[in-house]
Structure 1
Amino acid sequence: MKHRKPALRTILFPLLLAVVIGGLAGLGAVFFRWLIEFGIDLFWPGSGGFISQYEQASVFWRFGIPVLAGLIIGPLLHFVAPEIRGPGVPEVMAALAQRDGIIRHRVTLAKSFATATLIASGCSVGREGPIVQIGSSIGSSLCQLFRLGPDNRKLAVACGAAAGIAATFQAPMAGTLFVVEILLFDLEVTSLSNIVIAAVTGTMVSRAFWYDGILFQAPQFVLGHPAELLIYLVLGLMAGLLSLLLMAMTFGLSRSLDRIHVPGWLSPALGGVVIGTLGLYYPQVLGVGYDTITGVLQGDFLFSTALVLLLAKLLATSSCIGSGMSGGIFAPSLFLGAMLGAMFGNFAHLIWPDTALLSSHFALVGMGAMVAGTTLAPITAILTIFELTYNYEIILPLMVACIPSIIVVRYLHGFSIYETKLLLKGIRIVRGHDANRLRTMKIRDYMSKDSTFLSQETSLTQLLDKILNSSFPHFMINDNTGNLIGILTLRDLRTFLNKPGPTDPSITAGDLMIRDIATVRENDNLEEAFHLFSNHHFSFLPVMSESNPHRAVGSLKKDDLLTAYNQHILKDHYHPPSALIGPIRDNK
């Protein structure tokens, strides 16, 4: 058979789109970072960097600015653009899973302004998650402008996210793997190449503006003895527990504010109160905290200093994110991991004083382990630290620490901090996209309406006759008013007939049926039915009327659900040959 080559434009257009989005996302990252620096100079007159400028201000000013920023940004988050509240990554995940990559145009500017204002005021949030949302918004807006389809739009969102992360850390590999591990993208080889191109383009744009844009002056890492890996393993386990504590504090505060009915526009100001108070005593925990991380990596922090800053940062970050501020969790995770690692380094040196163990080495590995624990993205965490150091020797300790960290979180909780936020909003995104597809499919379109209904007064003789003449292995039992009161399967009937002794002829269907049953409604989606089938040994589910929840209108069989899903996948991924490579002809 002779195959026609794909048109050149079908190859070049996605690549060109990736380059444009990567460039724009890189510029977005540059603009966002400039906006933060502009805000710092506006809020904190002086010189010498953020902490120095902060300490030059009066006590009243240091306390009031974070509160004022919360009061200014709160109404914007609540009334104008609620989707920019929080880290930003969960919103991108939801846009990919539920809206085919559609993100409102206002997100780019609103997210930039809100997060930059909060970071500049000293709030303990990161800039990486917002840059992901900004880059994704740029890609989505570009596709909406040119009326491109959902496949191109999803790819554009992924390209924008990868370029944003890559531009921030000047780490294209980390940006690419971030999309693959966290954004749950249906990845194909061609898609991966576009994402890589966007990440590289974003990195090159950022380097054009920040030629010396290394975030941290990391020390040269050396693994002195293989036995040190055991310490890194314990460090990873502790990072997993610390990740869980961060999530518990963050979402615990969020639920508490909802429980006492604090207005959404006011809650960021309450987080500002915590930040204003903490900053008076521990200014090192304010903002993204990269200067403090650099200090840990360049010198040995005392155990007590690292412990105090870890606890203060934990409170600061959970207060900011939990109160609904706009900002990421990536930078706070790096900070917490660095402090945890510094503590471990001091402890290890105390036990083995004759070894050349440095707390800065443990701080580097702790940063990766903490990121892995909060995001459940170990490869992204490993490559991020690797691209910050370009030291191959750190790879093995990172792997030894990151994997136990995610195991702890997976075993004790099961979800990343991004997934947890979505779960609290009623959005369940399962890695692998099964739930995403099932969520768009309504039960009413796939249920069987010719189900067999029996009255609860149906005698045993009539029941056996129905079984012989029915193709269904299950029956739904109604009461005298037509409401569903139970189900009866062949397995239940077989169990009854196999009992020794004579059969009572007065037995009816109502005596044999199961009353404790699980049901679904017509307008429910197949994801909800899928979880019921997964958690129980059901072969079918009664489907209840939307107008009358007591009356069954049909049944959904497990086999029908799986068939519907497979057909949906086939429809999405099958294209006639002429659409891609032209008609196939027999070359005879």
Structure 2
Amino acid sequence: MLLLAAMAIVVGSGGAMGAWILVKLIAFATNLFWFGRFSIDDVHITDASLGLWVVAIPILGSLIVGLMARFGSEKIRGHGIPEAIETILFGESRLSVKVALLKPLSSAISIGSGGPFGAEGPIIMTGGAIGSLFAQCFHLSAAERKTLLVAGAAAGMTAIFGTPLAAILLAIEVLLFEWKPRSFVPVVVAAMVAFALRPHLLGSGPMFPMAGLFPETDWNLLAAAAVGIGVGLQATLLSSSLYYIEDLFHKLPVHWMWWPAIGAIAVGVGGLIDAHVLGAGYGNIDTLLNGSLTLRVAMALLVVKAVVWLIALGSGTSGGVLAPLLILGGAAGFLMGQFLPGDAGVWAMIGMAGIMSGAMRAPLTGAMFAAELTAHFSALPFTMTSAAAAYGVSVLLMRRSILTEKIARRGRHILQEYTVDALDLLQAGQLMTENPDTLPGSMTKSEALNFFSGDARHRSYPVVDEEQRLIGLVSRTDALRWQVDPREADTPLSEAISDVAQPVAFADTPSGVVADMIIDSGIGRIPIVERDTHRVIGILSRQDLLKARGAHRQAETGRSRFVFKSAQQSSTNRISN
């Protein structure tokens, strides 16, 4: 843990620098595509007046991205987070230098040319690549590389948005697939390093400060839940629509390299309708949260932004999902806020928390992210209510999140529900078969051979002395070997197996440790002995270990009533007496 935490300082610095580079690349691409100048100053696409070039520029940028994916690396396609998850779970957390270079460059071109995406997915992939590459310079395990990959991703997200707590929660809910000090502490270190560096790179303070407050009413939590249900339904519709559109692209009779350019046609047309739908749209988020957006623009964001984003992302171009989700959920919350008490901008924030939770299956991240983005921490009870409501709707209506569905379509199904391994909860004494059959150490090889040829019910048996103390384990394989080599047939088992190392466990040994013994030794039955006397008191087999899963399943699904049942039983006993 300490070593990885020290390494996370370097990874966090790299993630923060990667975020700064990505932001400047996006600004450079935006200036070049829309204003024809070489500059890294922040500009807004809505300030450009290019007429029908609004349609051509997104197509040009998407052509470049398609070429980069075709001849550079196919891993730069998509939102970034699913690719990071897949690398963690199935790629031993190894990302290449090519991905680390091409992902931010392709995303900058895509977003800078008008792609309706955010920088968060690309920076999570880029920061993860930085952490993975740094980890690959050392002799580390796949689990340790995963920790540094996720640390880099959290650092990148923190540097972009200034939300270290949400970045840490995203790591836990979406990327780590575990809760261990070894991974948690380094991720926190990397996120905090990036947070400390952010004022020197991208500025300090919340990204979208807002002043709106809730009115003093008793119905705000219920209203927040209603907004959460609404955006949860919206998240479900967006996710199913995205993959329906992706399936349509797969039916096109052209190489996937051309798909982003085809999808960009819709982006360009959407830009003609309303230029606010182009680019990352962080300015839209700001105006939504401050309640200064007109209803017409809010409706355009809700409908047109959704259409162009779904088509563009379904085409396989490079870009993130978080900023578009924030805009869409914020627009929905903003419009619902017209009928709710208080500032519509506050309800936009509640909608952002809900849609992020519903779409990504990350309720804690969604609730904290909205609060950190706005420095409006007093709204946490409301963002959490909205996030939980949206999460519940999503779980009931969607089999997978918008992130894991992409991976599932590649034949790799991921469960985002974390549970404690049943084997880590139970001890060997709770699962073992007590008073197992044993063989005496005085039994000869020939007698053992006859026993395994006739009366043996198991593949192996503990061999004990007169005091029932363990000598070793004899198996059917040993008997077959003795049958081939009948020499010293009168040798007692105590001498035949005395020099064989035999793994043993005790009654209080965790069952998971015994499972590891079985895997490491290849022995299917582990004797359980008393710690002091070494007397055999039980045996734990593979079949016994499956009992743990059965007990866990029974605890999950077995239903019974005790209070009324006990009262009824007592009444019956009194009547009978």
TM-score under structure 1 normalisation? 0.69
- Contact 1:46 1:56 (C-alpha < 8 Å) held by counterparts: no
Q: For structure 1, which segment, 146-155 or 242-251, has the greater mean C-alpha deviation from structure 2 after superposition?
A: 146-155
Which residue in 2 is equivalent to 1:244?
236
Task: Give SS of 1:265's match.
Answer: helix
Deviation by residue 1:409-433 (Cα, 9 ceiling, x = unmatched): 1101131111111111111122368
- 1:84-483 map, 5 Å: 84-212=76-204, 214-348=206-340, 355=341, 357-431=342-416
Q: 2: CA distance between counterparts of 1:430 and 1:377?
A: 13
Residues matched between the structures, number: 433
Change (3 A) 1:317 1:213: farther
Please say if residues 79 and 121 of structure 2, whose CA atoms lie closer than 8 Å, have aligned partners that are also in contact: yes
- Residue type of the partner of 1:385? A
Q: Tell me the secondary structure at the aligned position of residue 266 of structure 1.
A: helix
What residue identity is the alignment partner of 1:162? Answer: A
User: What CA distance in whole angstroms lies between the structure 1 residues aligned with 2:259 and 2:83?
Assistant: 20
Residue identity in the other structure for 1:237 = I
Residue identity over aligned pairs, in percent, reads 30
Q: Greater Rg, structure 1 or structure 2?
A: 2
> Against the structure 1 CA distance between its residues 104 and 563, is the aligned structure 2 distance closer, same or farther, given a 3 Å change threshold?
farther
Q: 1:433 to 1:470 in 2, by over 3 A?
A: farther
Q: Tell me, in whole angstroms, the C-alpha distance in 2 between the residues paired with 1:564 and 1:401.
A: 37
Q: Secondary structure at the match of 2:403?
A: helix
Q: Which amino acid aligns with 2:32?
A: L
In the alignment, does 2:15 pair up with 1:25? yes
Identify the residue that residue 35 of structure 1 maps to in structure 2.
25
Deviation at 1:259, TM superposition (A): 2.1
Task: Say if 1:256 and 1:191 are closer, same or farther in 2 by CA, change over 3 A.
Answer: same
Offset at residue 141 of structure 1 (A)? 0.5
Tell me if the contact between 1:90 and 1:422 (Cα under 8 Å) persists in the aligned partners: yes
Distance in structure 2 (CA, Å) of the matches to 1:104 and 1:560: 43
The aligned residue for residue 57 of structure 1 is: 49
Question: In structure 2, the residue corresponding to 1:145 is in which secondary structure?
Answer: coil
Instruction: Give CA deviations for 1:527-547 in whole Å, capped at 9, x if unaligned.
Output: xxxxxxxxxxxxxxxxxxxxx
Distance 2:420 2:204 in 1: 44
Secondary structure, aligned partner of 2:136: helix
Cα deviation 1:8-37 (Å, max 9, x = unaligned): xx73x3222010000001000010101001
- The one-letter amino acid paired with 1:415 is R
Call closer, same or farther: CA 1:170–1:293 in 2, change over 3 Å.
same
- Could you tell me which amino acid in structure 2 is paired with residue 241 of structure 1? L
Check the 8 A contact 2:150/2:176 in 1, yes or no: no
Q: Which residue of 1 aligns with 2:520?
A: none
- Say whether the 8 Å CA contact 2:206–2:375 is kept in structure 1: no
- Paired residues of 1:300 and 1:342 also in contact (CA < 8 A): no
Are the equivalent residues in 2 in contact too, given 1:115–1:127 (CA < 8 A)? yes
Alignment of 1:478-557 (within 5 A): none
RMSD over equivalenced CA pairs, Å: 2.7
Contact 2:267 2:308 in 1 (8 A): yes
Task: Find the aligned partners of 2:5 and 2:250 in 1 and give their Cα distance.
Answer: 45
User: Are 1:44 and 2:34 an aligned pair?
Assistant: yes
Is the 1:70–1:118 Cα contact (8 Å) retained in structure 2?
yes
Following the alignment from structure 2 to structure 1, what is the Cα–Cα distance between the partners of residues 134 and 147? 12
CA distance in 1, matches of 2:73, 2:366: 30
Structure 1: 5+ residue stretches without partners: 1-9, 349-354, 437-467, 473-556, 567-588
Kindly state the Cα deviation for residue 338 of structure 1 after the two structures are TM-superposed: 1.1
Which shows bigger deviation, 324-333 or 205-214?
205-214
TM-score by length of 2: 0.71
For residue 10 of structure 2, what is the amino acid of its counterpart?
V
Classify 1:219/1:414 alpha carbon distance in 2 versus 1 (closer, same or farther; 3 Å).
farther
CA displacement, residues 496-516 of structure 1 (integer Å, 9 cap, x when unaligned): xxxxxxxxxxxxxxxxxxxxx
Q: Is the 8 A contact 1:220 1:389 kept in 2?
A: no
- 2:229 and 2:390 in contact (8 A); partners too: yes
Match of 1:511 in 2: none
Give CA deviations for 1:294-329 in whole Å, capped at 9, x if unaligned: 112223444444223200111011011100011110
Q: Distance in 2 between matches of 1:183 and 1:210?
A: 25
State the one-letter code of the partner of 2:11: I
Partner Cα separation in structure 2 for residue 103 and residue 69 of structure 1: 25
2:146–2:176 Cα contact (<8 Å) kept = no
Please state whether the residue corresponding to 1:237 is helix, strand or coil. helix
* Contact 1:18–1:156 (8 Å) recurs in 2: yes
Amino acid across the alignment from 2:286? T
Offset at residue 560 of structure 1 (A): 8.4
User: Residue 14 of structure 1 corresponds to which residue in structure 2?
Assistant: 4
Structure 1 residue 130, shift from structure 2 partner = 0.9
Cα 1:434–1:114 change in 2 (3 A) is farther
- 3-state DSSP of counterpart to 2:32: helix
Distance in 2 separating the partners of 1:62 and 1:470? 81
State the partner residue of 1:458: none
Answer yes or no: is the 8 Å Cα contact 2:212–2:290 preserved in 1.
no
Q: Given the superposition, is the C-alpha separation of residues 217 and 108 from structure 1 closer, same or farther in structure 2, using an over 3 Å criterion?
A: same
Q: CA deviation at 1:60?
A: 3.0
How far apart are residue 469 of structure 1 and its match? Answer: 9.2
SS at match of 2:257: coil
Instruction: Sort the Cα spacing of 1:78 and 1:229 in 2 relative to 1 into closer, same or farther, 3 A.
Output: same
Q: Distance in 1 between matches of 2:123 and 2:30?
A: 18
Q: In structure 2, what is the equivalent of residue 74 of structure 1?
A: 66
* Conservation of the 8 A alpha-carbon contact between 2:213 and 2:343: no
Q: Measure, in 1, the Cα distance between the counterparts of 2:23 and 2:150.
A: 21
Of the structure 1 ranges 64-73 and 209-218, higher mean CA displacement relative to structure 2 is found in: 209-218
> Is the Cα contact below 8 Å between 2:160 and 2:202 reproduced in 1?
no
Q: CA deviation at 1:104?
A: 1.6
Are the counterparts in 2 of residues 29 and 206 from structure 1 also a CA contact under 8 Å?
no
> Is the Cα contact below 8 Å between 2:210 and 2:376 reproduced in 1?
no
